[in-house]
Amino acid sequence: MTTRWVLQCDIRIHLDTMDILGLVVLAAVVWHLLRSGDQRQRIAALRNFLRRYPIERLMEQISIGYTRALGESDTSRREQIWALLGTSEAELSSQFSRFAQAFAQVDERAARVSRVALPFAARWLPSACFDARQALAIHAQGLARLVRNDYHLPLRDKAYTYLAELLLMQHTCHWFCRSRAIASARMWTTHHTTYEQALAAVTPETREAYRALIGH
């Protein structure tokens, strides 16, 4: 009797453990599906706006130009490259401002960016979100300030700050589509730059406004 009772208990415990593991796996699968679906919707929504403007092409053009300028040993030639890039910087700033103005028309709920890594948190936890429309407006203003060179920076320093503004803007877009962690990881993998480094390198107005918006 005792042996049979022990075996029955062992079987019951084993079955209970399997039930718990099954529920955990099921929950993980459901979590992944919900999160993936939410991300696909956000990526499609942002892409629908971005495809109207040559922002990605201009960013690539500027990035290549910066690399050329940094690799140029002749001072006069390097300054010429920096100056020529000013036209592309101004065009990108203009196009991004148009994009930010267009995106500002989306519904407030669709523009929420969650600070927590939960699927659909932007729908049911608005207090843990910030507004992507406001973030994009901050980025547009930062780029415009640098095009005007409000700080009277040397060309190289202006380009360095402009690039930081672009990296932070990209981080915001990736955060909107996926999560802050993925956005930060992508910035490091692609540019070997941390989110903190990019934030520290942008203009003071951008940094203060961005921190106030996201609650940093």
- SS3 of 107-158: CCHHHEEECCCCCCHHHHCHHHEEEHHHHHHHHHHHHHHHHHCCCCCCHHHH
- Write out pLDDT tens, residues 70-110: 888 888 888 888 888 889 999 999 999 999 999 999 998 88
pTM over 0.85: no
Whether 202 has a pLDDT exceeding 80, the answer reads yes
Top-ranked range on mean pLDDT: pick from 24-28, 80-84, 106-110, 195-199: 195-199
> Does 185 reside within a domain?
yes
Predicted confidence band of residue 24 (pLDDT cuts 50, 70, 90): very low
Distance separating alpha carbons of residues 81 and 155, to the nearest angstrom: 10
For residue 173, the enclosing domain spans 39-214
Residue 28 in any domain: the answer is: no
Q: Is residue 32 part of a domain?
A: no
For residue 147, tell me if it sits in a domain: yes
Let me know if residue 25 belongs to a domain: no
d(CA 90, CA 14): 67
The structural domain count of the chain equals 1
Residue 129 lies in a domain: yes
In a domain, 22, yes or no: no
What is the rounded average pLDDT for all residues in the chain?
83
pLDDT band at residue 47, thresholds of 50, 70 and 90? confident
Is the pLDDT at 195 greater than 50, yes or no?
A: yes
Per-residue model confidence (pLDDT) at position 45 = 82
Q: Could you tell me if residue 130 is inside a domain?
A: yes
Question: Computed from CA positions of residues 155, 157, 160, 161, in that sequence, does the dihedral angle turn out positive or negative?
Answer: negative
Give the pLDDT confidence of 118-152 residue by residue, as tens digits.
666 667 778 889 999 999 999 999 999 999 999 99
